[in-house]
Amino acid sequence: MRWRSLPLLLLLLVSFLLVCRAKRSEFRICAYTLQRFNSEKASDSRLMHTLTRIVSRCDITLLQEVMDPDGKAIRSLLASLNRYSERYEDYNYKVVSSKSLGTSANNMQQYVFIYRTDTVSVLGEHQYKKTQSFTREPFAVHFQSQRTAIKEFILVPLHSEPTRAVQEIDRLYDVFVEVSKKWKNTNVMFLGGFYASCAYMNRQDRKKIRLLQTKFSWLIADRVDTTVTDMTSCAYDRIVVHGQPFLRGVKAYSAKVFNFGKDLKIPRTKVVEISDHYPVEVILQSSALLLQATPFLSLLFICTVVQSFLSAL
């Protein structure tokens, strides 16, 4: 009787290992609107430890409201990430960043992408230059990954000026046309602090936004709260993808807010020291799942045959 149960035990063991491998192979894209991230914040070791834990969950992280013209704060974060990875993970992190953008000398900001070189590579970058359209012009990056069902995709960030949110979100369509033509790729994801909610965008405004009238899917819903304090409950931070192919390449229901205060057991008073926004994230379908399916089905067939043989004894 003991030998007859071995195939079933083997199947359960392999199933467990495959689930663990699939979990590790998940490809997560995150966006976090920091609050004036600069050298002063980077000098706070406790804050940097928390930020390192947040960013280390993701294959690609977009950071916004980075005010770091000399690059010291981001270099400090990158060093912390790579030290953390040496201790707990097996990844190497790099950065691709825009120049400082804005219309006010005391509020110049950068879009910063931090990515794992082991799971994704940068094919190109493009700074949108029609400054009259945006307060902080989008900085597009063309990525490639063998881990994802969608092999090549373009990420376009927007940290809109709240009072101009409707106009700036609408003009993302023009950015889509430009970058998809440049790289001959329509797998485009927009992400960041849109301020597409509450006082900055109402029902009538929605009719003015082309990204809401065409083939784009908004993965963070209107009623989701991406803010930290109890004083607001607004979907300021969004993730939007173009077209059915990219939408099918996204893991269903994976787009969400990451409440790291709850997950990492950090009090809200400390959470709000980093930002008044929570990060948002989405998981792309993994190509590894397809590779895992064939050996799993083969093993299932073998186990079934062996089990039948033993039962006949």
Please tell me the predicted confidence (pLDDT) of residue 145: 98
For range 94-102, the mean pLDDT: 97
Cα–Cα distances (Å) from 100 to 51, 133, 233, in that order, read 21, 16, 30
CA 185, CA 56: separation in Å to the nearest integer?
28
CB 86 within 8 A of CB 49: no
Per-residue pLDDT band at 296 (split at 50, 70, 90): very low
Q: Tens of pLDDT along 178-220?
A: 999 999 999 999 999 999 999 999 999 999 999 998 899 999 9
At 300, the pLDDT band (50, 70, 90 cuts) reads very low
Nearest alpha carbon to residue 122 among 149, 100, 93, 99: 93
> In the structure, what pLDDT confidence band is assigned to residue 75 with cuts at 50, 70 and 90?
very high
Cα torsion for 144, 88, 28, 102, to the nearest 10°?
-80
Q: What is the pLDDT of residue 19?
A: 41
The residue ranges of DSSP E strands in 57-129, in sequence order, are 60-66, 93-97, 110-116, 121-127
User: What pLDDT sits at residue 312?
Assistant: 54
Mean pLDDT lowest among 104-108, 185-189, 294-298: 294-298
Which residues are paired to 287 by β-bridges? none
Q: What is the pLDDT of residue 15?
A: 43
Q: Which of 112, 128, 103 is nearest to 42 (CA)?
A: 112
Q: Mind listing the pLDDT tens digit for each residue in 153-164?
A: 999 999 999 999
Token pair recorded at residue 113: 């992408």
The per-residue pLDDT for 18 is: 42
- Checking if the pLDDT of 287 tops 60, the result is yes
247-276: pLDDT as tens digits:
999 999 999 999 999 999 999 999 999 999
CB 246, CB 26: distance < 8 Å: no
pLDDT, position 308:
55
Amino acid 130: pLDDT: 87
Q: Is the pLDDT of residue 226 over 70?
A: yes
pLDDT band at 288 (very low <50, low <70, confident <90, very high): low
Backbone angle region of 195, left / alpha / beta, with phi > 0 → left and psi within -120 to 50 → alpha: left
